[in-house]
Amino acid sequence: MTQACKLAAGNWKMNGLRADLAEARALAAAFPAPGCGIVLCPPATLLCAMAEAVSGSAIGLGGQDCHTQAAGAHTGDISAAMLADAGAHHVILGHSERRADHAESSALVAAKAHAAHAAGWVSIICVGETEAERDAGETLDIVLGQLAESLPEGAGAANTVIAYEPVWAIGTGRTPTLAQIAEVHDALRAKLPDRAISLLYGGSVKPGNAAEIFAIANVDGALVGGASLKAADFGAIIAALEAA
Ligand code: 13P
């Protein structure tokens, strides 16, 4: 069986101006030949400039969303082809902030992933329970349901990464116990159409907790928000993944 690839992905969310490209440059300089994949997902406004800033380095770039269509009358939206034109080959889809703020359903996430895959790009599909769902004992039902409904036909290790992000752990400094992360990742791995799909954990990953999270059997890396904004912090997380 092919092994899942190790990946550290940074989600800058709605953060970052041109001055912050210095962080991307510093990261590229610190990891000329990394022992894992590294992807930065800045806001769309920074993609072209960041592509230039890290040109020739081992850093890959990703978008934070894409439309189901390649082009057309969709004000404010961005297509997978446009992301690629700007230098991105990954795209985060179905992040809980988009599911909540933009009422994105798993069916829409699957359609977007299908569009991204058809264009030849890699989707990072996010799943995760709310605190109320965890308290109600529904965690596995929720995340496995989201997985089944968000994965398009043809999803495999070449075009798909899954990120488990408990909604209540995002930006809060709270994380599940290692046993809780292991339980969800084991369940997700068992349901993947291709067991070599990389499984990332996301939600308050920091330099101080990265190593213990990466030591969990079915954790292949992380999708990092706040701590990916600074090269020093994200670099420490990447180093922990390289060492895992
Ligand atoms: P934080 O790392 O800031 O908790 O964000 C996680 C996340 O949502 C990454 O997509």
Q: Which residues are catalytic?
A: 95, 165
Distance 72 CA to ligand 1 centre (A): 31
Q: Is residue 3 very low, low, confident or very high in pLDDT (cuts 50, 70, 90)?
A: confident
pLDDT tens-digit readout, 24-77: 999 999 999 999 999 999 999 999 999 999 999 999 999 999 999 999 999 999
Burial class (CB in 10 A: 0-12, 13-18, 19+), 32: exposed
Q: How many domains, the chain?
A: 1
Task: State pTM to two decimals.
Answer: 0.97
Which has more confidence, 82 or 3?
A: 82
DSSP annotation string for 196-232 = TSEEEEESS--HHHHHHHHTSTT--EEEESGGGSSHH
Ligand 1 pocket (Cβ < 6 Å) reads 11, 95, 165, 170-171, 202-205, 223-227
Q: Is residue 212 part of a domain?
A: yes
CB 143 within 8 A of CB 129: yes
Q: Give me 28's structure tokens.
A: 């590229």
Per-residue pLDDT at 1 exceeds 80 = no
Which residue range is the domain that position 125 belongs to? 7-67+76-223
Residue to probe by mutation, ligand 1, list 223, 229, 238, most atoms within 8 Å of CB: 223
- The pLDDT, as a whole number, for residue 2 is 65
CATH number at 153 reads: 3.20.20.70
Q: Is residue 121 part of a domain?
A: yes
Q: How far apart are the C-alpha atoms of 244 and 242, rounded to whole Å?
A: 6
Q: Is residue 233 part of a domain?
A: no
Give the number of the atom of ligand 1 that is nearest the alpha carbon of residue 223. Answer: 9
Q: How far apart are the C-alpha atoms of 127 and 129, rounded to whole Å?
A: 7
Instruction: Measure the CA angle with vertex 196, ends 146 and 145; round to 5°.
Output: 10
